[in-house]
Structures are given as structure tokens and as C-alpha cells.
Amino acid sequence: MTDATNSGSDADRSRGVEDAPEESQRRNPQLVGKARDVVKCLVLLVKNRALLGLAHPQIRLLERGFATQLQQYFEMVDELDLQLHPLGAQFGRQPILTVERPQHSPFFALLQDGVREVKIGSGVTSDELDAFLEALIVHEESSIEDSAMTALWEVDLRHIELVQTDPFSGDDDDEAGGGGGSSRRNEFKDLLSEALSDSLPDDGEAELQCRSSFALTESELFGPRAAAELKDLVRPERARKRAETHTMSDGELAELKAAVEGCARRGKQAMGLPPDMDRRFVRSVMEAVPANAPPRERSAARDALVPVALEAFSIGDIKTGQRILRKAAKVTGKRGTDGLFPAEMHDDLVWIADVILADETLSAEASREFWAVLPPQVHEAIFERLFESGDLKMFKHVALLGDGPSAKVKSMLVAAVSGEDTKRARTVLPLAADFAKEDLAESLMAAVDGEDQGLGFAALEALTKIDPAKAVQRAGPWLVHEDIARRDMAREILEGAGLHQEVLPHYEAVFDSSAFKTADIAEKRTMYVSVGRAAGRTGLALVREAATRGGMLAGRESHELRAAAILALGLLADTTSRGLIEKASKGWRVPAVVSAACQNALQAIRKSKGSPT
Amino acid sequence: MNRAKRSPEAQQRARALTNGFIILVKSAMVHELNNEAVARSIDQFRDALTDVFRGNDEVVLRFVEEMVYVNGVLVRPDMGLYEMLQSVERVLANLKMREVTISGRLDRRDLREFLKAIKKYMTMTDGHEGFHAQRFDKIHVRDIKESGGQVEMSDQMRALRAYLAALLTLKSLILRIEQNKKVSIAPTKRATRDLTTMVYANEAVMLGMIQMRRYRGRTFNRLVNCAVIAVAMCHRLGVDRVAAAETALGAVLHDLDWTGKRDRKKTVHQLVRIYRGERVGRLRVTIASDVGRVDGLGPSRVIGVASQYEKLTTIGDNKDGPILPDEALRRIEADARFDKIAVKLLVTTLGVYPVGTTVQLDDGCIAIVVELPDDGRSLAEPIVKVVKDAGGGGADGRLEDLSQSGTPDIARTLEPEPLELNVTHFFLA
């Protein structure tokens, strides 16, 4: 048997739906075909809506298609009446949808709620269809208290009628029945019969329990004595007066009404909740679950409290988050629970950490404080999980760990650097260089020689921090490499190494090389500057020596080389260099390019006030 | 109201006819039509029919859900009737025989033809089409749904079903909690939403439902009753339906201490166990925790007084047992622990003599308070249904609007049990 339930609207609204087409009409092949088309569109729409989300353009297209099919159907008859069963749907007893498993039916969410018939009337609005479709989507994270029918109850569906099986009179049994469907049905009928009966059932014990000590028997209620007693009892004025004291003012009404409506949860949102509700919640839980409660109770309390703390962290309320966690720790402190942050909570932790980091209104300190509340083993578990899943974005959080990563996390970082995934290696490399330098050198050397030039450069850069001598040794020969990018990289590495003596031979070799002599003026100048930066005073001396011994500034050299040397001396900006430049600028036969270089160099020295740039 | 229809005799005749019809169909399905048992059942049915025909031009039997109506008289069901109905339900359903109209005295041949057609078409797929096409002289069969009119249960029946469904759903929930089993709140939420729909549609009838005695005082029954009262208060307050339904859910979850000790901590613990980290659980826990607090959340203030009223009237607060409804209200009014506005709302909703209360009027009649319309009347002047006359005899069930001049006043409130009154019945009749 069925109970017509017009989900979310009063029963009489359902009467507004047009009459269903006659049985014979519903067997019209054209009509059946159209109904099938509608359902086909519906299947596609529900499936893709769940996968792609509402905003996807494909969904808009599918929605339009579904609406068109429905409209075409309504041009033939006024109502679409579908009978649902676990493995499909029928229209006028003709199967129009067959699925292998109930979960594959687009109506699965409704089937779970005992809906066995769907009627859509021709005046159906897009809002109604939208709510209906939304209810059909089975969300992965099923809510503890919501279902398709509870969601639709809130919606004013005037043109969609859902007919549910009555769990107390049909063959089906629902979850609440706990398997006792038949006995529940009998109990229901029994109760129904009892309610309708004009006499009381004979259940002596229950009656005794219910009976008040104030109970009067018939003999005390009727007869002359009772009538006389009644006269004394009646005090209508008093009752009326009492009634008057309960008149509610508009202000009182409005205040209570607002307080009740404010706590209503519409959809998934509860608006108007008091700001201290979470605090009250924490207090209630803490009062209800003492530290010596059984482990299951404490686990449940932990699961309830920690998300509140994490939410506080996510909005930057670090102090509240820490306070709640301290309280939660009191509950989980005893043995028997798996700590404050069990594995199933780690995804949430990652999410919160990302939220905090992405929030521009929060400082890095907030992130550090968040990570500080998580114990090292949780860090380890989180990073291990992320590493395994290939999601490396969270490694940026390693930098925010107060005491640095654990040995296990460090080994993961090192492994990532020498792994085959060069993209991953490049992402991890800076962190590894900061936090796992002691084990990293060999991996870096291998990466420098690898095929991925970007990774090689990053590895070389990291190597500078870990083992500068090795870095110089690797980079020096690149000063004359045929690839300009490698030459640039080499200069950068040698300049940053801070090993003046070790780098000098590499530059000396450069200046003597034919490659240098054929290089353009810009690179020559850069090389002169670089040697100063990389080898300090010794490097400067090398440049000066090259200039003073008449080599570079001598008239026999090309104008470009002389100009480059002069510009380099200008950038070095020391007193000796200045003297050399001034000297080179004098004379009758100074070429224009050299003269201009001298002016520029002297100007640069003046601007830098004598400090090498 | 047609009092003749409601008379015990009419009820008796209707029941005899229903029984006769069911036995007739059942015996025809079991035996050959020339069998003695069939012949007996035909005669029995004809006798019953003759009784019902007195004063009627035609006899209409309607089978709606588990209810049977004979010429509009609801045949009050009992377990025997249910079982019998169940035995012919397949025939009624397959042949879509939900309404049988008999338009004249039937002889044996008429009935044999009718039974022959039943037997024949029951063996066919889609037999109802042939069966409905068959013409009988004085018998006309219809499926009520196909006759154009939607068959709707009466509002009272819908209310009763919603109440009972909520009751059994909550019973199951509390049992699962007691057994420490996994719990889903969705069935409970669905049930409370249906309950809300019904209270908003017919507040007085739903307040009458809470007088049902079977499980009075049991935790799950108290929770459902508390929800009904809380929703009625919301209705009176003008709260929207969704907020009222949420309050109803808060009401059925506000005391999950299945031991009956109303230990708030146990409820919080159970809610925490059920909801774990779900955000909505915080709201449910806070509503339950705030019940009875003057500065509590809005729903908690409403639930607090509703719950206390329910408790006082069903189990009382000491060894004296349950307290009469008006006295319960007085005690709540005098209790400083409750929010004064919520208390006022409770009294405004239920009346000084709450709906469902058995009262004695100053003319000696016994009546049941069935409604307190929200029409600006005094809260002490509800509408009552008179159920016993001043001498203690059965009354006609007339309604008396005590706000009208010349009507009696309420003298005192009474316990219905010693008077053998099934209060719920009077809201459904």
C-alpha cells in the first residue's frame, strides 16, 4: 500500500496535479517512446551533474535538453507518471529504464527513501526541477540526518508528486525498522486499532502506571452529591483571569519567533545562530564526557571537538583553536583512544593548513602555530600520505614546522630529489636543501649531471648551500661552456659560493681562452664583473692586472675589448680602477667607443660612491 | 453531523456487512461456487445487506487503505478485521475493487455471477480490465483512484498515521541507542517533518493524539509528544514550517537517556556518538543542552516547557504519578527555571484547560477539550466534545463552544482512565 506524500507540500497541493493519462493512453508507443527519451535525458543529467557540478556548461546543455524533452512529452499529455523499482523504471507498465544495480538508477536516492512513484505535472517550474534533480544526486559524504525526502520536504513542489511506500503497511522495510518489518507492521496496526477504538484496552499494569493519584471514579463524579460539589468548584472568573495573564505582547512574540527561526537549518545552513554556540557545544561535550569515560565515548568526543578547533584555526582564531585542542586532549589523554588526530582526520588537517596558508589576512605565524599543535607523528603521517599520493603542494608546509621535519620526512624529501619524476624533484629540492642537507649531496650531484637542465641548475644551486666546494668544482668548467645558459649559471654559482681562492683558477682559465676573446662585449664585461664578485679582491686584482699590463687597455686590442674592460673597471668602482679608467680616457687618439665607455664607467663610479656594484 | 450514522447500531450493521463481504469473497476463492460454504456465505451476506438497506437506497462498500466504510460509516477496525481484510487484499488490489455499490436487493444468482466473475478474472493478467467491463445487474465495481476523485485519507487518519509512524520510528531509534548500534537520524527527521506537516494542518487533532495511552511515559513516546507540543507552539507563534520541523527534530533528540532518568549528559554523549564531527551535530547538542535554560537557544526554550508539561502529565515529578494537565501548567508557570515567554506560549497554545484534557462541566457532563481556536477568545473557553451526560450515560458527542453565551463552564479536570475514555478516539471520530 502506498501513502501519497507530496514531499514538502501539504497533501491537498498534490491534488493540483493534473489527472494521470488513462492506462490505455499510456501504452501509446509514441508516448512511451517520449517518456523513455525524457528518462534518458534525466539519466545523463543526473550522472553528469554529480560528476561535473552545476556550473559546468555541459550541464546547462543537458538541462536544456531535458526541459525540451519534457516539454515535448507534455504536448502529448499533462502528466509524466513513472513507477520506480530497484532495477529501473516503468511507464504505463512498459519498462523504460533498466539498470544492473539499484545504485545505477538515477532514482536511487528516492528509492532509498521508499519512493516508488514519481509524477511530474505539466506546469513544473525550473526551480522545482532543479530541487528535484539536486535531491537525486547521491553525495559521497552522506549526511547523518538528511536524505532526498528530507531535502525535498523543504521545497515547495507543486508539480512534482512523490509516492512513498508506507513502511508500516507495505512489503518494504526501512532502516529504522531494524529488520523487524512484520512485527512493526503488526504493532502499527495494533496501535491504529487502539486509537480508533472507543473503549480502552485492558492493560492493567500500564493503566496503573498511568493513573494519577488525583483520579476520580464515576461514583465520585455523578449523582446528587457530585452535583452539589460542582457548584463549589466552579470559579469561571478565576479561570478567565488566569487566562488573561498569558497574553503575549508583540515584542515577546517577535523575540521568541526570531530565536526559534534563527536556529533553523535550511538546506545545510543554519543562520542566526548565536556567536558563542561553538563554545557552548564544547562546554556541553566536556561536561558530558569526563576523562575517565570509556574509550568509545572519548573517541566520539574527540571527533566532535577537534573539528571545532580546526575551524577556529581556519579563520585565524588560533587561540580558540589551541584552547579547544587543549580541552580535547584532556579527553583523549587517557589510553584507549588513537590520539587527537586519527588518520581519517588527516585530510581535514591538510585542508585547514592550506586554508590558513592561502588566507592573505593571516601571517605565516598562524600557519606555524597550527602545525605546532600537531604532534610529529601526525606531520609524518600527513607528509607520507601526500608523498604517496603524489600531491606535493603540502611540502611547502614543511618550512613551517617549528622543529623541522622528522627523519622520515627528510628521507622522503631526499628520495624525491633523486626520483624519476623531475617535476616533483624540482618542487622538493629547495625544501630538501633547507631541511635534509646532510643526506642530499650525492642526490644533487646526480641531478646536476642529469638530462633535465632546470633540475640540474636547481641542484647546483642547492649544492652551493650544502657543499660550496663541490658546487664550484662542478660549475667552474661551465664558464666556457658553449651553452650561454650554462655559462650564466656557472657565474651565478661561482659568485654565490663565497670561495674566492677556489674560483679564481676557473676565471684565469677563461681569460686565457680563445672563447673569451671571441665573446661579445657584453659577456666580456660580465665576466670581468663576475670575477670581481666571485673572487673578491683577488678577482679585482686579476682584472686590474689584465688592464694594467697593457693587455686589455692597450691600443692593439680591439676597441670593443678595451671598452668592455673599462666598463668592467667602472663597475668594480675601486680607486685603482678609477685611475686606470681616467688614464685610458686621456690622449688624442682614443676611439669614440672607448671614450664613451670611460665616461659611462666614471659616471657609474660616481653614482656608486666608490663601492663595487 | 449525522448522528444516525454514528449510532452503535449503524456501526454493528456496517461491521456485519463488511465481515459478510470478506467471507463471501474469501470462500469463493477457496471453494467451487456450488460448495456449501459459499452458499452459506452468500446467505450470510444477503442477511447483512438487508439490515443495511433499511433506510438506504443503495449500499456502498469502500476499501481505503486499512479502512472500510459502509455508506460512509467507518467500520472501526480491530485486529480480527485487519486479518480478514489482509486475506482478501490480493483480490481487491488485483481487480481494483475498491468500491462496491449495491443498488438493490440481491438474490443468490446475482451474487453467484459476481463471484464467478471474480474467480474468472483473478486468473488473468490485467484481469481488472475485464472485470470492470463486466456488467452486473445491481452491483457496480470501481477502483476509487480511477473514478476521477483522488482518494484521500481523512485528515484525522493522516494525522494518526503520522503520529504512529513517528512513535514507532522513535521507538526504533531509542532501541538502537540502547543497544549501542549505529544510528541514522534520517528516518527520524522524515517522521518529524511529517509530524510537523500534520500539526500545521490540524493542530487540535495532533494534540489529541498525544493522549494515546499504550506507551505513555516511555521515553520515545514522551519525545514524540514533546515534538507535537513544540510544533503546536511554533505554529501558534507564527514560526515558518521549516523552523518548526527543526524544532520538532530538536525535541525528539533532546532526551536520549533511554533509562528514563533524563540525564542530560547521557543525551549529549549519545548525540556526540551519533553525529561525531558533523557540523549539524553541534546545533543538536547545543539545543539539547540548553533545554531548561532561560538563556538557551530559541528551540530549547520551547522544547523545555513542552517537555516539562509532557513529563508532568504522563509520569509526574514524584511518587504521586501523573498530574492533571491544568495543574501541570500551573506548576510550570510557578517554576522560575523556565523562560516566561515560552511558558506563556505554552499556555496560549494549549489553553488553561489543555487540548485533550478530560473535564467535567458545571452541568455535570463529562467532556473532552478538543480545540482552542486562535480567535482571540479567552484561554479558559475552549471547544469541548461532550462524551458523557450528567448522569454518567453515553452522550451524543456534541461539540460545545464554551466561548458562546449560555454554555456551561468547566468545573474541573479529570483523569480519563477511570471513566474508560479513550481520548484519542474522540479526536478521530
As a whole-number percent, the residues of chain A with pLDDT over 70 amount to: 79
Mean pLDDT throughout A571-597?
81
How is chain A split into domains, by residue range? 2-172, 275-370, 375-466, 489-613
B363 three-state secondary structure: coil
**Considering only CA atoms, which of B328, B337, B335, B378 is closest in space to residue B356?**
B328
How sure is the predictor about A392, in pLDDT bands with cuts at 50, 70 and 90?
Answer: low
Residue A70: predicted pLDDT: 92
Cell 438497506 sits at which residue? B53
Cell 486562535 sits at which residue? B374
**Considering only CA atoms, which of A558, A473, A543, A551 is closest in space to residue A508?**
A543
Least confident of A502-506, B25-29, B149-153, B381-385: B149-153
φ, ψ for residue B56 (rounded to 5)?
Answer: -125, 145
Residue A114 has pLDDT above 60, yes or no: yes
Q: What CATH homologous superfamily does B155-350 map to?
A: Hypothetical protein af1432 (1.10.3210.10)
User: Grid coordinates representing B86?
Assistant: 489482509
φ, ψ for residue B384 (rounded to 5)?
Answer: -125, 160
How sure is the predictor about A37, in pLDDT bands with cuts at 50, 70 and 90?
Answer: very high
In DSSP notation, A498-545 reads --HHHHHHHHHHHHTSHHHHHS-HHHHHHHHHHHHHHHHHHHHHHHHH
Residue A599 has pLDDT above 80, yes or no: yes
As a whole-number percent, the residues of chain A with pLDDT over 90 amount to: 7
Closest CB to B345 among A216, A256, A278: A256
Residue B271 has pLDDT above 70, yes or no: yes
B417 touches chain A (CB under 8 A): yes
Residue A210: predicted pLDDT: 47
A291 touches chain B (CB under 8 A): no
Report pLDDT digits (tens) over B371-401: 888 877 888 888 999 988 887 777 777 888 8
Q: Which element (helix H / strand E) includes B54? A: none
Q: Does residue A348 or residue B100 have the better pLDDT?
A: B100
Contacts with A253 from chain B: Cβ below 8 Å: 237-238
Residue A417 has pLDDT above 50, yes or no: yes
In DSSP notation, A536-600 reads HHHHHHHHHHHHHTSTTTSTTS-HHHHHHHHHHHHHH--HHHHHHHHHHH-STT--HHHHHHHHH
Greatest extent of chain B over all pairs of C-alpha atoms, in Å: 78
Residue B230: predicted pLDDT: 97
| Single-letter amino acid code for the residue at A592 | A
Residue B12 makes CB contacts below 8 A (sequence gap 6+) with none
The C-alpha atoms of residue A226 and residue B390 are separated, in whole angstroms, by 10
Residue B182 has pLDDT above 90, yes or no: no
How sure is the predictor about A20, in pLDDT bands with cuts at 50, 70 and 90?
Answer: very low
How sure is the predictor about A176, in pLDDT bands with cuts at 50, 70 and 90?
Answer: very low
A52 touches chain B (CB under 8 A): no
B142 touches chain A (CB under 8 A): no
Residue A337: predicted pLDDT: 61
Check CB contact under 8 Å for B417 and A239: no
* Mean pLDDT score across all residues of chain B: 86
How are strands ordered across the β-sheet holding B399-401?
B399-401, B383-388, B366-371, B358-361, B410-414
Beta-carbon pairs below 8 A across chains A and B: 355
Residue B131 has pLDDT above 70, yes or no: yes
How sure is the predictor about A175, in pLDDT bands with cuts at 50, 70 and 90?
Answer: very low
Check CB contact under 8 Å for B344 and A189: no
**Considering only CA atoms, which of A150, A167, A144, A143 is closest in space to residue B189?**
A150
Contacts with A284 from chain B: Cβ below 8 Å: 268, 285-286, 288-289
**Considering only CA atoms, which of A286, A335, A336 is closest in space to residue A309?**
A286
Residue B175: predicted pLDDT: 93
Check CB contact under 8 Å for A243 and B378: yes
The C-alpha atoms of residue A219 and residue B389 are separated, in whole angstroms, by 14
The C-alpha atoms of residue B339 and residue B305 are separated, in whole angstroms, by 8
Which of residues 155 through 184 in chain A touch B, CB cutoff 8 A? 166-169, 174-178, 184
Contacts with B189 from chain A: Cβ below 8 Å: 145-147, 150
User: Grid coordinates representing A91?
Assistant: 511507464
List where CATH 1.10.3210.10 sits in chain B: 155-350
Least confident of A72-76, A182-186, B295-299, B314-318: A182-186
Residue B249: predicted pLDDT: 96
How sure is the predictor about B66, in pLDDT bands with cuts at 50, 70 and 90?
Answer: low
* Mean pLDDT score across all residues of chain A: 78
A218 touches chain B (CB under 8 A): yes
Residue A610: predicted pLDDT: 57
Residue A183: predicted pLDDT: 77
Beta strands, E only, B84-186: 99-102, 139-142
Q: Which element (helix H / strand E) includes A478? A: none
Note whether ipTM > 0.85 here.
Answer: no
Residue B116: predicted pLDDT: 93
How sure is the predictor about A548, in pLDDT bands with cuts at 50, 70 and 90?
Answer: low
Which of residues 20 through 79 in chain B touch A, CB cutoff 8 A? 65-66, 74, 76-79
Mutate which of B154, B247, B272, B305 to test chain A, going by most A C-beta atoms within 10 A?
Answer: B272
How sure is the predictor about B225, in pLDDT bands with cuts at 50, 70 and 90?
Answer: very high
Least confident of A248-262, A384-398, A559-573, B45-59: A384-398
Q: Give bridge partners of residue A79 from the DSSP assignment.
A: A121
Mean pLDDT throughout A126-143?
80
Least confident of A594-603, B50-59, B70-79: B70-79
Number of neighbours of residue B57 by Cβ within 10 angstroms: 7
Mean pLDDT throughout B300-324?
88
Q: How many angstroms separate the CA of residue B308 from the nearest CA in chain A? A: 16
Closest CB to B299 among A188, A227, A263: A263
B401 three-state secondary structure: strand
Residue B299 has pLDDT above 90, yes or no: yes
The C-alpha atoms of residue B328 and residue B346 are separated, in whole angstroms, by 11
The C-alpha atoms of residue A510 and residue A524 are separated, in whole angstroms, by 10
Residue B426 makes CB contacts below 8 A (sequence gap 6+) with B208, B368, B370, B385, B387, B397
Least confident of A302-311, B152-161, B269-278: B152-161
Residue B236 has pLDDT above 60, yes or no: yes
Q: Does residue A97 or residue B4 have the better pLDDT?
A: A97
Residue B223: predicted pLDDT: 96
